[in-house]
Amino acid sequence: MNSVQQMQRPTSAELDAADPLAGQREAFYAPSDGQLTAYLDGNSLGRPLKATSAKLASFVEDAWGSRLIRGWDEQWMDEPTAVGDRIGVVTLGAAAGQVTVGDSTSVMLYKLIRAAVDAQAGRDEIVVDRDNFPTDRFIIEGIAAEKGATIKWVASNPASGVRTTDLEGLLSERTAVVVLSHVAYRSGFLADAAAITAMVKEAGALMLWDLCHSVGSVPSNWTPGVWTLLLVAPTNTSMAARAPPRSRTSTRRSRTDCNSRSGAGWAPTTPSA
């Protein structure tokens, strides 16, 4: 083999033929006009699975249609944590009890950041970078106005992303929560989550990582530790991940228990990503 042959790269067709995931394509719906070869603009709205149609129909007819209100206690109340456990193992390397499936990413962002500010009595500053995903910034601006909190903007390089040095001078005893994206959505920059989380923890603040562009795309392992909340949206759902509540008397909860749980059980995970 000469040097030119050695340098030849495989063609797209050859890579496709060798792709162990290629067969999975058939599991998803594609636009009926056949015009779309690759869908790279999914954000939090991926292609639906074909299996979802039958499962939705079965849910309406069998689970909801036949069990009616009994469905809550028989199954549905446990689904967020049961499904969260399975997703957490596969996508985050998280342990059971650390991940729960919630509302849309934006709704969960609001809930988590709002709860973080409330949980940090005497701290009235929220730190976020100017280049973070627009929804994240808009939600933080709303919460700051609502709570009378101050936003400390991180001026990171938009061509890369947030580094530990960008946070210097911004963290203090007034910092309630720091909100950053693990992967910068424009540049693809991967933040040093472990080092940044350690800095934030040192300042006594909470760290919230938006993992929308990270989970399932880059290797990461978010193992139990201290002061981190994770928000991820690998498909069309969002999940909040955290360590289990410090005391948990029952794994099954009634609807009234659930109400009293909101905003509680915060805490602890530290990434080793």
Ligand X SMILES: Cc1ncc(COP(=O)(O)O)c(C=O)c1O
The footprint of ligand X (CB under 6 A) covers: 43-44, 104-106, 133, 135-136, 181, 185, 210, 212-213
> Closest separation between CB of residue 45 and ligand X, Å?
7
> Closest separation between CB of residue 18 and ligand X, Å?
30
Residue with smaller CB distance to ligand X, 171 or 184: 184
Helix ranges (DSSP H) in the chain = 3-7, 12-18, 51-58, 65-67, 70-74, 79-87, 105-119, 134-147, 164-167, 193-202, 255-261
> Closest separation between CB of residue 209 and ligand X, Å?
10
Residue with smaller CB distance to ligand X, 203 or 230: 230
> Closest separation between CB of residue 33 and ligand X, Å?
24
**Distances, alpha carbon 72 to alpha carbons 65, 75, 108, 187, 270, in Å:** 13, 6, 22, 43, 33
Q: How far is residue 114's CA from residue 240's CA, in Å, rounded to a whole number?
A: 14
Residue with smaller CB distance to ligand X, 135 or 223: 135
Neighbouring CB atoms inside 10 A of 143's CB total 20
Residue with smaller CB distance to ligand X, 149 or 239: 239
Structure tokens at 190: 């991967």
> Closest separation between CB of residue 106 and ligand X, Å?
3
Q: 261 CB contacts (<8 Å, ≥6 apart)?
A: 245, 253
Residue with smaller CB distance to ligand X, 128 or 243: 128
Residue with smaller CB distance to ligand X, 179 or 203: 179
Q: How far is residue 91's CA from residue 1's CA, in Å, rounded to a whole number?
A: 42
Check residue 28 and report its DSSP letter: B
* Helix H or strand E encompassing 247: none
Check residue 251 and report its DSSP letter: S
> Closest separation between CB of residue 210 and ligand X, Å?
5
Q: How far is residue 197's CA from residue 226's CA, in Å, rounded to a whole number?
A: 9
Residue with smaller CB distance to ligand X, 181 or 197: 181
> Closest separation between CB of residue 136 and ligand X, Å?
5
